[in-house]
Structure 1
Amino acid sequence: MNLLYWLDPWEFSPTVVIALLVPAILFVRGARKARLSFARRLSFWFGLIALYVVLHTRLDYFFEHEFFMHRLQHLVLHHLGPFFIALSYPGAALRAGIPLRWRQRFLRPALQTPLVRKVLDVVMHPVVAVTLFVGLIYFWLLSPIHFVAMLDWRLYRVMNWSMAIDGLLFWWLVLDPRPAPPARLSPGKRVLVVIAAIPPQIILGAFIFFTPHELYPIYSICGRAFTWLSPMRDQQIGGLLLWIPGSMMSVIGALIALRHWMRLSARGRLRTERRAQTPRGLTHAASQTTSGTSGQR
């Protein structure tokens, strides 16, 4: 079996192909105009390819038949893939990849509609962002919900897409390198938001790991991909994947957000610093004007 065999989709999905091909084309078109660094390009392609691998390859069979493989899939969908895409900050390149006429006629009016702006304001609110990020993990891991989601292919796809979209929104919010505004959150709030997401992931991962009975019997009922792995060991590995790598991704995100905060502070680009500097500048200018006027007199 070669690499091409594993890249062949287990179940072909035109939705996945279109959803990943469109940003890939836009990024290729716009990266030249936006003049992105090699590191940012590499980060974007790594994240996009990671999403493709866990959504549209033969690995999907294992994701459906082993709990720890399912957790690995969601670790990539919710954390790793969106994290690297957001880390590349590809917004300028994606916009540049859209023809100017389309941007003026379709994209800009759509983003300025009250409904879209209201939805973004709600979803990007720090409390809502943390609640969604952690809440979706808890929701899809509720035993009854998980049982049905792994049986119904439509709900299974809704589960995967909800994790991917929420991951993109969350990490885009947290890893934004700009000051606020134009960023939605100040650098300090970005650090707090990602830190707030760590304890619930640790608690849920530890609960799954230490539970002495099988929480997700659907994998035993439908047949396991790895017959040599016991159900409890499978469950423990899945709990560890949520507990340690998932939490560590949030720690790394907090460190990057903190680095952006320190960089913006060193450059005097924080809003509080600008406010503090403006009165002093005005006072200094006023004093110079007063002294100049007095001298003329």
Structure 2
Amino acid sequence: MNLLYWLDPWEPSPTVVVAILVAAILFVRGVRHARVSALRQVSFWFGLVALYIALHTRLDYFFEHEFFMHRLQHLVLHHLGPFFIAWSYPGAALRAGIPFRWRQRFIGPAVRTAPVRIALDVVFNPVVAVLLFVGLIYFWLLSPIHFKAMLDWRLYRVMNWSMVIDGLLFWWLVLDPRPAPPARLSPGRRIMMVIAAIPPQIVLGALIFFTPHELYPIYSICGRAFTWISPIRDQQIGGLLLWIPGSMMSVFGALIALRHWMRLSARERLLEERRDTPAERRPAAPARAH
């Protein structure tokens, strides 16, 4: 078996191909007009490739037939891939990659409509963002819901895409390097938000790990990819993946948000610092020509 065998999708999905291609094309076009460092470009491509591998390769067979492999897939879809994409700060490049006429005629007017603004205000609210980030993990791991999702390919894809979209929204909010405004949250609130998401992940991972009976019999019913791993051991490994790596990604996010806070504070770009800075210490406004 060669690399092409593993890149062959287990269940082909035009949606995945189109979404990944559109993001890649926009980024390539945008990099020619926006300033994007080599490190940020590597981060973006790593995240995008990770999402493609987790969604559209032969590995999907194993994701559907082993619980710990399923948790590994969602670790990539909800944490790793979106994390690295958001860490690359690709907003300017992606916007620059959209033809100017499209931005002027379609994208701009659509974003300014009341329904879109309300929806963005809701999903980017820090409380809602944390509840969605943690709540989706809990929801899809409810035993009856998980059973149905692994049997119905349509629900299975909804589950995976919901993790990708929510992961992108959450990490985009947390890893925003700008001061507020224009960022939606101050660096301090970003740190509090990502820290708040850690305990629920630890609790759920520990619950799955220490449960002495099989929580997800769907994998035994449909046949396991690794017959030499017992159902309980499979479940324990899956619980550990949620418990440790999932929580560690949140810790890394908090450290990056803290770094942004320190950088902005050193440059006196925080809104509260600008308010507290005495007038004589503020840079003088340039004189206007008469």
TM beyond 0.5 = yes
What per-residue deviation string (whole Å, max 9, x for no partner) do you get for residues 9-40 of structure 1? Answer: 11110000011110100000011211210000
Q: What is the match of residue 51 of structure 2?
A: 51
Cα deviation for residue 277 of structure 1 reads 2.0
* Distance of 1:220 and 1:94 partners within structure 2: 43
The residue number in structure 1 matching 2:120 is 120
Task: Tell me the residue number matched to 1:32.
Answer: 32
In structure 2, the residue matched to 1:7 is 7
User: Letter of the aligned partner of 2:28 in structure 1?
Assistant: V
**2:206 maps to which residue?**
206
RMSD: 1.2
**2:17 aligned partner, one-letter code:** V
TM-score by length of 2: 0.96
Matches within 5 A, 1:82-231: 82-231=82-231
Which structure has the larger Rg?
A: 1
- Alpha-carbon distance in 2 for matches of 1:3, 1:268: 50
The aligned residue for residue 74 of structure 1 is 74
Q: Distance in 1 between matches of 2:222 and 2:231?
A: 12
User: What is the one-letter code of the residue matched to 2:32?
Assistant: R
Whole-Å separation in 2 of the counterparts to 1:278 and 1:224: 67
Displacement, 1:222?
0.4
Q: Which has the higher helix share?
A: 1
Q: Tell me how far apart the structure 2 counterparts of residues 10 and 195 of structure 1 sit (CA, whole Å).
A: 36
| Alpha-carbon offset, residue 43 of structure 1 | 0.2
Deviations 1:50-94 (A, max 9, x none): 000000000000000000000000000000000000000000000
5+ unaligned residues in a row in structure 2: which ranges? 285-290
2-structure distance, mates of 1:242, 1:3: 28
Separation in 1, partners of 2:108, 2:209:
47
Looking at structure 2, the residues matched to 9 and 281 of structure 1 have their Cα atoms a distance apart, in angstroms, of: 60
Tell me the percent identity: 83
Q: Quote the Cα distance in structure 2 between the aligned partners of 1:108 and 1:245.
A: 38
Q: Provide, for residues 98-156 of structure 1, a one-character-per-residue CA deviation record: whole Å limited to 9, x for no partner.
A: 11111101111111111001000000000000000000000000000000000011100
Runs of 4+ in structure 1 off by over 3 angstroms are 278-282
- 2: distance between equivalents of 1:204 and 1:3? 35
Structure 1 residue matching 2:160: 3-state secondary structure: helix
Give the Cα separation in 1 of the matches to 2:12 and 2:146.
Answer: 23
